[in-house]
């Protein structure tokens, strides 16, 4: 069998780890840029979307690419999932507790709720790109106004202090089963570690497991991988901050056995 590791022209410390797991399973793997015009996607038995982290400015092109590739081979996760998950408006439709969000669409009046500190970001983004954290309401309104003027949907959320104390909890599921969890430092924290891999393992609480399982049940798709990012609201209840189903970093390089579990789950789906 032959698998494509869908990536980009940049660093990815999980890439060689998963390719090595494929080799151990007797699978030929190749790292291929998602936007490589010479790529013959039909020649692969499966294409696994892992690190196409430069798609943000070309999201429509990326979604079109996913549907095209899926017409010739198995794509993981599926194109329909990628299309929904690359626009954060999916958070409104899941029917689960999420971080309170004020949505502003192009053409709508920009009026922000009163809160102590704001996070303002576009609905299509990654890695905190075009995201602002501020205590100044006027500054937050200006940023939101700039986003919608550019034809983008703006998200306005409260900044949660817990991301700098407890941190976010990322729960990684492989083949529909819980694999491992990590404590993630929020990218907007006052101090962010230089090494994104330097995060401790975490044992999620029963309420976090319950919410993660509920979130995945709401998706209703057979997912090869999923990362459920949770925070705790001021009252202590867990809430979804992000559901990463497209190209999440899965901490494969720092989690023994995870790449092999991902390989096994992939093989059972072919």
The answer to whether the CB of 52 falls within 8 A of the CB of 62 is yes
Distance CA 165, CA 22 (A): 38
DSSP 247: S
Catalytic residue among 227, 232, 242, 261: 227
Catalytic residue among 16, 117, 221, 244: 244
* 50 belongs to the catalytic site: no
* 197 belongs to the catalytic site: yes
Catalytic residue among 24, 92, 129, 197: 197
113 Cβ partners below 8 Å, 6+ apart? 102, 156
Distance CA 4, CA 39 (A): 10
The answer to whether the CB of 6 falls within 8 A of the CB of 49 is yes
The answer to whether the CB of 189 falls within 8 A of the CB of 164 is yes
* 244 belongs to the catalytic site: yes
Annotated catalytic residues are: 197, 227, 244
């Amino acid at each position: 069998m032959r698998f494509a590791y869908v990536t980009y022209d940049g660093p990815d410390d999980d890439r060689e780890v998963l390719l090595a797991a494929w080799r151990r399973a007797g699978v030929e793997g190749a790292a291929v840029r998602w936007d490589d015009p010479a790529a013959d996607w039909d020649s692969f038995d499966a294409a696994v979307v892992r690190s196409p982290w430069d798609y943000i400015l070309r999201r429509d092109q990326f979604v079109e690419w996913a549907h095209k590739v899926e017409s010739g081979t198995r794509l993981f996760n599926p194109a329909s999932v990628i299309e929904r998950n690359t626009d954060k408006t999916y958070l409104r439709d899941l029917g689960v507790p999420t971080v309170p969000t004020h949505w502003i669409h192009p053409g709508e009046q920009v009026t922000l709720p009163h809160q102590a500190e704001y996070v303002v970001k576009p609905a299509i983004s990654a890695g905190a790109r075009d995201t602002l954290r501020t205590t100044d309401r006027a500054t937050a309104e200006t940023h939101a106004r700039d986003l919608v003027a550019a034809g983008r949907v703006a998200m306005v959320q409260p900044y949660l202090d817990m991301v700098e104390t407890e941190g976010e909890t990322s729960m990684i599921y492989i083949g529909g089963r819980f694999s491992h969890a990590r404590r993630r430092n929020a990218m907007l924290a006052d101090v962010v570690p230089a090494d994104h891999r330097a995060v401790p393992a975490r044992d999620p609480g029963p309420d976090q497991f319950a919410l993660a399982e509920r979130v995945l049940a709401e998706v209703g798709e057979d997912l090869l991988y999923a990362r459920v990012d949770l925070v705790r609201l001021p009252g202590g209840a867990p809430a979804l901050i992000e559901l990463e189903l497209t190209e999440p970093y899965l901490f494969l390089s720092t989690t023994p056995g995870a790449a092999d579990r991902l390989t096994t789950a992939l093989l059972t789906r072919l």
